[in-house]
Amino acid sequence: MDSLAGNAPRASEKTAPPDAAPLVARVTAGFAATFGGPPASVWFAPGRVEVLGNHTDYNEGYVLSAALAEGVAFALRPLAGTRGRLCALDFGRKVELDAARPAPMPTAAWANYALGALHFVRERAGGAPRGFEAAFAGDLPVGGGLSSSAALSVSAALAFAELYGAALSPLDIARIAQRAEHEFAGVRCGLLDPISSLFGAAQSMVFTDFRTLEVRRVALPPGTAFLICNTGVKHRLVDSAYNERRAACERAAAHFAARLPHPVRALRDVSPAEWQAEKSGLDPDDARRAAHPIGENARVLQGVARLAAGDAAGFGALLRESHRSSVENFENSCRELDLAVAAFERQPGVWGARLTGGGFGGSALAFVEESRAEAIAQAVARETTRAFGRATAVRRIRPSNGARRIGD
């Protein structure tokens, strides 16, 4: 694994990599059509997929994730004065604002991710407000749980950091993107999404320790690939379900803190063996909820070791264990996710599959033999289309480089 804590996003790339090139061309053309001239710069931030480490981030644990080839491109040109103009090319909508006083717009919720990025970048950078024209678009599948919102917040934050000449680290940008979602968009997200978007690398996963915020890259073995099935089910991760599970984890951590002979600040500090030995007296539902992130933390660390050894089958087995724990312990799966995972696992060449992201809908991820990826995707698409009674999208996703400046 390569340590990345000090690395900045790549700001020197002058041409779009092949996967991002069509999106960047579309945004550049859309900007010119909207504002009557080319942008000064275009920033691209990818979406992300969670590979292993489900609901571990707020338990101060570990996650393996990957940046995707798809994401959001954000084009910007400075203006004199303090007027700001922002266009969502995918929606054909525009807003105008005073860049000196950006504020959430209840009637244009799509704009709040970028407006929050502007506000918190300028808060860090200081200096006089600067006017701008900006336009953005994305190519991430809608509703697939691949974090288009973080891709927008990150790309906007990077563009505004350049506008204000702010020297911000990748973790600074990640925190700004998170605050934009919290305080402007009203989404209580963690740091997983922006960190994954910023630190990705081709054919590698991002390992994040959410206590120390240490970030490393973990290379994938040759001949491996990921497939994803978008079930088309919108996330049922309503606030009450998320909050109930988070509260259960906090109650369990307090229980173990009172029972174990070492400090317990979060479930990250509890091993599976300690959970088994000391779960008595804990509410049974809370015990099952806690078993999931405790097991996931152990699986992430085992997964890193298995990948380093080139053990693709062993890594896939951890994905299967992860999904089983989601079903039995955390109860954050749904019928469609379970059907998609089962369809993947019936195919030759699939090492393992699981739900990805918060659960309660969204997508299922599979780790497969690269040579069989296309055949597996076609077979699973047929099975899930029959099972769901509607067309299902199954496609390959490619771990890719993180957020970057595309150029002039």
The rounded distance, in Å, linking the Cα atoms of 133 and 251 is: 48
User: Would you say 160 and 172 are in contact if contact means Cβ atoms under 8 Å apart?
Assistant: no
| Amino acid identity, position 297 | N
Residue 78 identity: P
Which tokens go with 344?
């993947």
Is 260 exposed, middle or buried, given 0-12, 13-18 or 19+ CB atoms closer than 10 A?
Answer: middle
Catalytic residue among 139, 193, 269, 286: 193
Strand pairing partners for 395? 228
Q: CA gyration radius for the chain?
A: 21
Contacts (Cβ under 8 Å, ≥6 apart) of 101: none
| Distance from the Cα of residue 56 to its chain's centroid | 13
Q: How far apart are CA 56 and CA 299, in angstroms?
A: 11
Q: Which two tokens stand for residue 62?
A: 């570990």
- Give catalytic status of residue 193 as yes or no: yes
Query: How many C-beta neighbours within 10 Å does residue 161 have?
Result: 23
Q: Which residues pair with 88 in a beta bridge?
A: 93, 136
Q: Which residues is 207 bridged to in the sheet?
A: 64, 216
CA dihedral over 226, 404, 301, 51, signed as positive or negative = negative
Q: What is the 3-state secondary structure (H, E, C) of 272-293?
A: HHHHHHHCCCCCHHHHHHHHHH
Alpha carbon distance 148, 271 (integer Å) = 34
Q: Indicate which residues carry an active-site annotation.
A: 193
